[in-house]
A and B are shown apart, each in its own frame.
Chain A
Amino acid sequence: MNGWMGKLLVIDLASGSVTTQPLDMEMARLFIGGRGLGARLLWDLVGPEVEPLSPENVLIIATGPLTGTGFQTSNRFSVTTKSPLTGTVLDANSGGTWGMRFKRAGYDAMIIKGRAPNPVWIEIKPDSVTLHDASHLWGLTASQVSEALGQDKNRRNVLCIGPAGENLVRFAAIMNDVARSAARGGPGAVMGSKNLKAIVVEGDLRVDFADKDRFRFIQYEATKMLKANPVTSQALPEFGTPVMMNILNGVGALPTRNFQQSDFEHAEAISGEAITERILVDNDACWACPIACTRVTKTSRKQGEGPEYETAWSFGASCGISDLEAIAEANYLCNDLGLDTISAGATIACAMELSERGLLDSDLRFGRADLLLPTVEAIAYRDGLGDLLAEGSYRLAERCGAPELSMSVKKLEMPAYDPRGMQGQGLLFATSNRGACHMRGNMLGLEVLGLPKLIDRLQVQGKAGYVILNQNSSSVLDSLVACKFAHIAVADEYFARALTALTGIEYPTGEMLRAGERIWTLERLYNIREGFTRADDTLPPRLLTEPATGNSAGEVSHLEPMLDEYYRARGWDSNGVPRPAKLAELGLAELVEGVL
Chain B
Amino acid sequence: MIDQRVYEMFRDIGRDMYVHNLVSSHGGNISVRFGDRILIKRRGAMLGRLKPHDIIETGLEKNDSGVALASTELIVHRAIYKATPALAVVHAHPRHAIALSLTRDEIVPIDNEGSYLLKKVPVVSVEFASGTKQMADAIADALRSYKIVFLRGHGSFATGQTLDEAFQWTDALEEAAEIIMYAKMLNEEMIEYRRMSDSYSKW
**Are A and B genuine complex partners?**
yes
Question: How far does the alpha carbon of A479 sit from the alpha carbon of B186 in the complex, in Å?
Answer: 49
Contacts of A511 in B (CB 8 A): 144
Given the known A-B contacts A452-B165, A509-B85, are A493 and B35 also in contact in the complex, defined by CB atoms under 8 Å? no
Given the known A-B contacts A460-B3, A511-B144, A513-B85, are A566 and B35 also in contact in the complex, defined by CB atoms under 8 Å? yes
Instruction: Out of B32, B84, B196, name the residue touching A462 (CB < 8 Å).
Output: B32
- B6→A569 contact, CB < 8 A: no
Contacts of B199 in A (CB 8 A): 213-214, 217
Q: Would you give the 0/1 interface string for B1-16, flagging 1 where the beta carbon is closer than 8 Å to chain A? A: 0110110000000000
Q: Which of B18-26, B46-54, B156-164, B172-180 contacts A (4 or more CB under 8 A)?
A: B156-164
B127 interface residue (CB < 8 Å to A): no
Residue of A213, A461, A566, A568 with most chain B CB atoms under a 10 A cut-off: A461
A510 interface residue (CB < 8 Å to B): yes
Contacts of A472 in B (CB 8 A): 85
Q: Would you give the 0/1 interface string for A449-463, flagging 1 where the beta carbon is closer than 8 Å to chain B? A: 000111110011110
Question: How far does the alpha carbon of A492 sit from the alpha carbon of B87 in the complex, in Å?
Answer: 14
Closest to A213 in B: B199
Question: How far does the alpha carbon of A124 sit from the alpha carbon of B35 in the complex, in Å?
Answer: 47
- A456→B85 contact, CB < 8 A: no
Q: Would you give the 0/1 interface string for B85-123, flagging 1 where the beta carbon is closer than 8 Å to chain A? A: 101000000000000000000000000000010010000
Contacts of B116 in A (CB 8 A): 224, 228
A398 interface residue (CB < 8 Å to B): no
- A453→B161 contact, CB < 8 A: yes
Contacts of B3 in A (CB 8 A): 459-462
- A461→B34 contact, CB < 8 A: yes
- A455→B162 contact, CB < 8 A: yes
- A469→B85 contact, CB < 8 A: yes
- A453→B84 contact, CB < 8 A: no
For window 433-475 of A, CB contacts with B under 8 Å fall at: 446, 452-456, 459-462, 464-466, 469, 472
For window 155-203 of B, CB contacts with A under 8 Å fall at: 160-162, 164-165, 168, 195-196, 199, 202-203
- A452→B85 contact, CB < 8 A: no
Contacts of B83 in A (CB 8 A): 510
Instruction: Out of A454, A469, A497, A565, name the residue touching B34 (CB < 8 Å).
Output: A565
Grouping DSSP codes into helix (H, G, I), strand (E, B) and loop, the A interface class, with mixed when no group exceeds half, is: helix
Contacts of B195 in A (CB 8 A): 220
Given the known A-B contacts A220-B195, A460-B3, A509-B144, are A466 and B87 also in contact in the complex, defined by CB atoms under 8 Å? yes
Q: Would you give the 0/1 interface string for B52-63, flagging 1 where the beta carbon is closer than 8 Å to chain A? A: 000000000000
B42 interface residue (CB < 8 Å to A): no
Closest to A456 in B: B5
Given the known A-B contacts A214-B199, A220-B196, are A569 and B144 also in contact in the complex, defined by CB atoms under 8 Å? no
| CB of B200, distance to nearest CB on chain A (Å) | 9
Question: How far does the alpha carbon of A497 sit from the alpha carbon of B3 in the complex, in Å?
Answer: 36
- B35→A446 contact, CB < 8 A: no
Contacts of B196 in A (CB 8 A): 217, 220
Question: How far does the alpha carbon of A221 sit from the alpha carbon of B120 in the complex, in Å?
Answer: 13
Given the known A-B contacts A217-B196, A509-B85, are A569 and B165 also in contact in the complex, defined by CB atoms under 8 Å? no
Instruction: Out of B5, B35, B119, B164, name the residue touching A453 (CB < 8 Å).
Output: B164
B36 interface residue (CB < 8 Å to A): yes
B134 interface residue (CB < 8 Å to A): no
Question: How far does the alpha carbon of A466 sit from the alpha carbon of B161 in the complex, in Å?
Answer: 7
Q: Would you give the 0/1 interface string for A501-515, flagging 1 where the beta carbon is closer than 8 Å to chain B? A: 000000011110100
Contacts of A460 in B (CB 8 A): 3
B33 interface residue (CB < 8 Å to A): yes
For window 112-150 of B, CB contacts with A under 8 Å fall at: 116, 119, 144-145, 147
Contacts of A455 in B (CB 8 A): 162
- B85→A453 contact, CB < 8 A: no
- B36→A569 contact, CB < 8 A: yes
Q: Would you give the 0/1 interface string for A480-503, flagging 1 where the beta carbon is closer than 8 Å to chain B? A: 000000000000110001000000
Contacts of B161 in A (CB 8 A): 446, 452-453, 466, 469
Question: How far does the alpha carbon of A217 sit from the alpha carbon of B36 in the complex, in Å?
Answer: 37
Closest to B33 in A: A465
Contacts of B87 in A (CB 8 A): 465-466, 469
Question: How far does the alpha carbon of A398 sit from the alpha carbon of B6 in the complex, in Å?
Answer: 41
Question: How far does the alpha carbon of A509 sit from the alpha carbon of B84 in the complex, in Å?
Answer: 8
- B6→A459 contact, CB < 8 A: yes
- B5→A459 contact, CB < 8 A: yes
Question: How far does the alpha carbon of A566 sit from the alpha carbon of B168 in the complex, in Å?
Answer: 27
| CB of B162, distance to nearest CB on chain A (Å) | 4
Question: How far does the alpha carbon of A472 sit from the alpha carbon of B87 in the complex, in Å?
Answer: 13
- A509→B145 contact, CB < 8 A: yes
Contacts of B84 in A (CB 8 A): 509-510
Closest to B34 in A: A462
| CB of B85, distance to nearest CB on chain A (Å) | 5
- B162→A464 contact, CB < 8 A: no
- A221→B119 contact, CB < 8 A: yes
| CB of B52, distance to nearest CB on chain A (Å) | 14
Contacts of A456 in B (CB 8 A): 5
- B164→A569 contact, CB < 8 A: no
| CB of B147, distance to nearest CB on chain A (Å) | 6
| CB of B97, distance to nearest CB on chain A (Å) | 20
Contacts of B36 in A (CB 8 A): 568-569
Contacts of B144 in A (CB 8 A): 508-511
Contacts of B85 in A (CB 8 A): 469, 472, 492, 509-510, 513
Closest to A468 in B: B35
27 contacts between A and B (CB under 8 A): A220-B196, A221-B119, A446-B162, A452-B161, A452-B162, A452-B165, A453-B161, A459-B6, A461-B3, A461-B6, A462-B34, A465-B33, A466-B87, A466-B161, A469-B85, A469-B87, A472-B85, A493-B147, A509-B144, A509-B147, A513-B85, A565-B34, A565-B35, A566-B35, A568-B36, A569-B34, A569-B36
**A residues adjacent to B (C-beta < 8 A):** 213-214, 217, 220-221, 224, 228, 446, 452-456, 459-462, 464-466, 469, 472, 492-493, 497, 508-511, 513, 565-566, 568-569
Given A452-B162, A511-B144, A569-B36, output 18 extra A-B contacts at Cβ < 8 Å.
A220-B196, A221-B119, A228-B116, A452-B161, A452-B165, A453-B161, A453-B165, A454-B164, A455-B162, A460-B3, A462-B6, A462-B32, A462-B35, A465-B87, A509-B85, A509-B145, A510-B83, A565-B34
**A-B complex: 8 closest residue pairs judged by Cβ atoms:** A569-B35, A462-B34, A453-B164, A508-B144, A217-B199, A461-B3, A453-B162, A510-B84
